[in-house]
Amino acid sequence: MQITNRIHFRNFSGDLFGGITAAVIALPMALTFGVASGAGPAAGLYGAILVGFFAALFGGTPTLISEPTGPMTVIMTAVIANLTAANPEKGLAMAFTVVMMAGVFQILFGILRLGKYVTLMPYTVVSGFMSGIGIILVILQLGPFLGEKAPKGGVLGTLGALPDLLSGINGAALFLSLLTVAIIVLIPIIVPTQLKKWFPPQLVALLVGTFVALWLFPGTSIDRIAPFEAGLPTLRMPVFTQSELQLMVVDAIILAVLGCIDALLTSVVADSLTRTEHNSNKELIGQGIGNLVSGLCGGIAGAGATMGTVVNIQAGGRTALSGLTRAFILLIVVLWAAPLTQNIPLAVLAGIALKVGIDIIDWDFLKRAHQVSWKGTAIMYGVIALTVFVDLMVAVGIGVFIANIVTIDRLSTLQSKSVKAITDADDEIQLTEEEKKLLDQGQGRMLLFHLSGPMIFGVAKAISREQKALKYCEALVLDLSDVPHMGVTSSLTIENAIEEALDKGCSVFVVGAAGQTKRRLGKLGIWDRLPPENLLATRVEALRKSVAGLDHYATSS
């Protein structure tokens, strides 16, 4: 595996323009998410620069733009709030340590090659999870949107304080917030397609909102971005206490997993636009390095950002050079233009963040889910409720568990229909004329047990149910020709059936066992209990031997 992403200069102009355009989009979002998280605007900018730079350099998706995102900001907000509440002096430092730990986890996920498993999640769970995060982001912005301080206590605290927020609205701030949302909504509609890349809605809203605030409300009490010093970030060593270590590890795992999902889903979008294929494990390593360095420098966590990635590709970006260019431009802003940000009203940033939260909600699937599956709809709304009111990890865990149980039950029901046990020729199994005659000759004393398809653990019950027919038979033909995979539970059930048949004195013939199925049954010692000549390649051979054995038994009797 390559250490760094492939960078060449054959597409220099496209990558340069893509990087510049992505930087323009990233600036207002970085400020917004930095302030929304509670870490401050500088932390948002450092996160956008460092995660974006190192993910581009070491990642596995050349066109991916990585930066703080709405979902990651929601987690960061909770992490900072919880740790500062538990330890006011060291809470923020411990939150940056959580970002470092999340980066380490992501690197481990990549080294362990878990990339392909990260996105193996039912869409109902992903949709519910992302919609829940969008709702959380909207709720958390209600205070700043109305021109007031964000209430403590997260979602429940904000909802509980809603009457007070509504009674103390700051009119000037609310006007700026609504103006910001209106600009973001209207620009894509009124600006011609060929000019849209020059007028990113978030940046226009940021500039117009700030200008209007300086012009119309110069002496009004409107909260603005806290000033921060221009310059390079200072290194922050990991900080933790024994009492908060467990909480930090859990938060880091949540942040890492969400970052992996966010990045890899965006990588899939990039693949579809560029007709390429990303390296998921390498991408996780790149994301991990980016978050590790971001935490070390006091930046918030980031992941692959769909908006920035799409804009980068549409502007001509094709290699990691575009991501590196974007990071360099943002660095210039931090080094020389930081003092200008202190005029930006928090209400404008709240309007941007609230619109991001609204966009994260999966409105399209919410409208159609009930038409697709009522079970899937119930899972999705359950995940939304758990995400918003309980815990993100609990929501994903319970959602995936229930969705998998429902899926396994459905597959087991379908697969159970392929478990057939017959003693005479009928239409349940397709048989040749010779096989039908041989079964008829058995006169009900011979049982043909036919299995088809993967034998997952949910099929074991069906096998046990058909096994009851053994008590009437003197010979068992077990047909495994169409079984590509045998699970442990089904293997043990098959073993029990063979043991029962042998204990009753039945002759047992096994047909077509090969590959994984043969190896799995062999490890259980089944082949040691049967004569080698009873392991056959075709069903007709087994039926002949079975009938011959029955005839011999009848003659000797």
Residue-range domains of the chain with CATH: 19-407 (no CATH), 420-556 (3.30.750.24)
The alpha-helical segments, DSSP class H, found in 38-90 are: 41-58, 70-86
Q: Decide the pairing of beta strands 535-536 and 446-452.
A: unpaired
In the structure, what pLDDT confidence band is assigned to residue 8 with cuts at 50, 70 and 90?
A: confident
Q: Which strands make up the sheet holding 446-452, listed edge to edge?
A: 420-422, 446-452, 475-482, 507-511, 535-536
What crossing angle do the helices spanning 12-37 and 306-314 adopt, rounded to 10°?
160
In the structure, what pLDDT confidence band is assigned to residue 426 with cuts at 50, 70 and 90?
A: low
> In this predicted structure, which of 121-130, 180-189, 410-419 has the lowest mean pLDDT?
410-419
In the structure, what pLDDT confidence band is assigned to residue 428 with cuts at 50, 70 and 90?
A: low
In the structure, what pLDDT confidence band is assigned to residue 423 with cuts at 50, 70 and 90?
A: low
Highest mean pLDDT (candidates 121-125, 204-208, 271-275, 298-302): 298-302
**Cβ neighbours for 426, distance < 8 A, ≥ 6 positions apart:** none
Compute the average pLDDT of residues 447-469.
77
Backbone φ/ψ region at 230: left (φ over 0), alpha (ψ -120 to 50), beta: beta
pLDDT at res. 289: 97
> What's the token pair of residue 259?
């970052």
pLDDT, one tens digit per residue, over 247-289 is 999 999 999 999 999 899 899 889 888 888 889 999 999 999 9
pLDDT higher than 60, residue 213: yes
Per the model's pLDDT, the better-predicted residue between 464 and 46 turns out to be: 46
Q: What is the mean pLDDT of the chain?
A: 86
Run of H or E including 422: strand 420-422
User: Per DSSP, what are the bridge partners of residue 507?
Assistant: 475
Residue among 470, 546, 464, 471 at smallest CA distance from 510: 546
In the structure, what pLDDT confidence band is assigned to residue 145 with cuts at 50, 70 and 90?
A: very high
Compute the average pLDDT of residues 45-57.
96
pLDDT, one tens digit per residue, over 337-387 is 778 788 889 999 999 999 999 998 999 888 888 887 888 889 899 999 998
Integer Cα distance of 221 and 35 in angstroms:
18
pLDDT, one tens digit per residue, over 495-520 is 888 888 888 888 899 998 888 889 99
pLDDT at res. 1: 45
Which amino acid would we find at residue 77? T
pLDDT higher than 50, residue 557: no
Say if residues 281 and 113 touch (Cβ distance below 8 Å). Answer: yes
pLDDT, one tens digit per residue, over 108-143 is 999 999 988 876 778 888 888 889 989 999 999 999
pLDDT higher than 60, residue 91: yes
Q: Decide the pairing of beta strands 420-422 and 446-452.
A: antiparallel
CA angle 211, 212, 214 (to 5 degrees): 65
pLDDT at res. 211: 93
pTM of the model: 0.78
Which amino acid would we find at residue 259? G
pLDDT higher than 90, residue 69: yes
Compute the average pLDDT of residues 483-499.
87
